[in-house]
Structure 1
Amino acid sequence: MTGSEIHGPAPEAAAPGPASADGPPDGAAPRGADLQSVVESLLFVAASPTPLARLAQVTGATEDAVNEALEQIAASYGLAGRGLRLLHKGDRVYLTTAPESSAFIEKFLGLDLSSKLSTAALETLAVIAYRQPLTRGDIETIRGVNCDGVLRTLIARELVEPVGRLEQPGRPFLYGTTLQFLHYFGLDSLERLPPLPADRDAGAPPPTT
């Protein structure tokens, strides 16, 4: 055939497939300040404490890089006197409000966030904080009293949670503190707990202040 050839219609471009749930959307892991921004955004929208591995999976960065970004974010909050804080517990991290703002948040939301714990609850909480994980029986042995009701209160206040079971007959629950515990006492990690006096009896309840 001479002259211009007649071509059929151009093939339609393939529709883009769904974005992968793993790795960054554009295939390139963010770095430096960009990684800090992305990690901060992810924590802002997260509904629950987020494992470090999950942040690395979504961003495509290494866990070391994500951890460094978290340290930079936490430092920026501290230096600037910002209203947010990063809380760490194990491999999980959580973005929350600064404890200094709690009274204003309580007023704004009409909540009672500052209701005080009883002396018994504080003593029980101190035992758990310094000696976790431990069973209810361990707590009662240390305190010398029944702690069933107090423990239920601490769980209801989301200051204490079951963290496993002891591998012995009956498999009793092991209890530990929560991220809400850190927020309640204005700590960013358990490493910030004040040290016990060197001469304190290991079987005596730790200080509550």
Structure 2
Amino acid sequence: MELKLVLESILFSSQKPLSIAELRACIKEAPGYAEEPIPTELQQVKTAVLEQTLEDLSRDINAMGRSFRLTCVAGSWQFVNAPEYVAWIKALVGHRPRAPRLTQAALETLAIIAYRQPLTRAEAEQIRGVSVDGVLKVLIERGLVEQAGRAEVLGRPMTFRTTELFLEYFGLKDLEDLPSADELRRIPVEKPPGLNTSDPELDTADDADSGADTDEESEDNDPDEKCDASDADDASDADEDAFDEDDDEDWESDEDENVEEEEESSAGNGFDDDAELENDPSRN
């Protein structure tokens, strides 16, 4: 009796995929149900031997060209029908409504989570460039994405990761079977402000001081304000010059009036002197 045939019979009779642990448990409990003694090598099977035997069985079935395959999805093994025989299977079991296909936005968001998990909603939005709230809700409802705990950053936002159903949905053994996407993995994600130091308030204060210094420098270096100040100084000087000219005209006008008064006074004094000389008896 070969281990390969034992595994084939177990998987053929199972209604669901079986993990390595479930297969080992089944093999370990089999002697209690056996009518004849079971060889010792089939009672205690190491994990490495079990995995290698399953790989060999899968290759043998595929090489035989049968209508079914043995595949490992999300770490569990199961028999599945070959895609080319789907029409006859549908005719047997009838048409069953399938869940609607994922939209392009959902596939893009799911790919980001798959390659960068665990990550927060904000990080997914930064990579994709748009909001992912609605899409993320759909992925969680479909069972393809689940919460993975809170991130150790400011605010402790929730992180997300893919589920085993995601691997089954896309026929993947594990996340290592994902196609290469080095470019997606290399996209830098900026951390929220205030996470670069142990005291988040320090970064905020520094940013505020930096902003104030920048505003002061911009005010000092603003050419428009300098031009306005220069124009104001020129206007002030022009007003002072105009004031000085008015003062000069007023001073000259006052000086002319004083000269005229002095001339009239001199003329009056001369007339009085001549009258006094004529009436002076000593001159006679």
TM range (shorter): 0.5 to 0.7
Query: What residue in structure 1 maps to residue 210 of structure 2?
Result: none
What residue ranges of structure 2 are gaps of 5+ in the alignment? 29-44, 189-284
Distance 1:103 1:45, change over 3 A: closer
Answer with 1 or 2: which has the greater Rg.
2
Structure with the largest fraction of helix: 2
Give the Cα separation in 2 of the matches to 1:145 and 1:122.
Answer: 14
Query: What residue in structure 2 maps to residue 54 of structure 1?
Result: 22
Query: What residue in structure 1 maps to residue 78 of structure 2?
Result: 95
Give the Cα separation in 2 of the matches to 1:161 and 1:106.
Answer: 31
Task: Give the TM-score of the pair, scaled to structure 1.
Answer: 0.61
How many positions carry a matched residue from both structures?
167
Distance 1:78 1:177, change over 3 A: farther
Maintained 8 Å contact 1:132/1:177: no
Query: What displacement does 1:157 show?
Result: 2.5
Q: Which of the pair has the greater relative contact order for Cα pairs under 8 Å at 6+ separation?
A: 1
The one-letter code of the counterpart of 1:78 is N
CA deviation string 1:106-150 (max 9, x = no partner): 674423437432111010111122222333333223213221221
Maintained 8 Å contact 2:114/2:161: no
Give the Cα separation in 1 of the matches to 2:168 and 2:120.
Answer: 23
Q: Does 1:129 align with 2:114?
A: yes
Of residues 164, 171, 175 in structure 1, which corresponds to 2:161?
175
Q: Secondary structure at the match of 1:116?
A: coil
What residue ranges of structure 1 are gaps of 5+ in the alignment? 1-29, 205-209
Report the RMSD for the aligned CA atoms in angstroms.
Answer: 3.4
Q: Secondary structure at the match of 1:45?
A: coil
Distance 1:99 1:116, change over 3 A: farther
Q: Does 1:148 align with 2:118?
A: no
Q: Does 1:185 align with 2:185?
A: no
Q: Does 1:110 align with 2:80?
A: no
The one-letter code of the counterpart of 2:160 is L
Query: What residue in structure 2 maps to residue 74 of structure 1?
Result: 58
Distance 1:160 1:138, change over 3 A: same
Task: Give the TM-score of the pair, scaled to structure 2.
Answer: 0.47
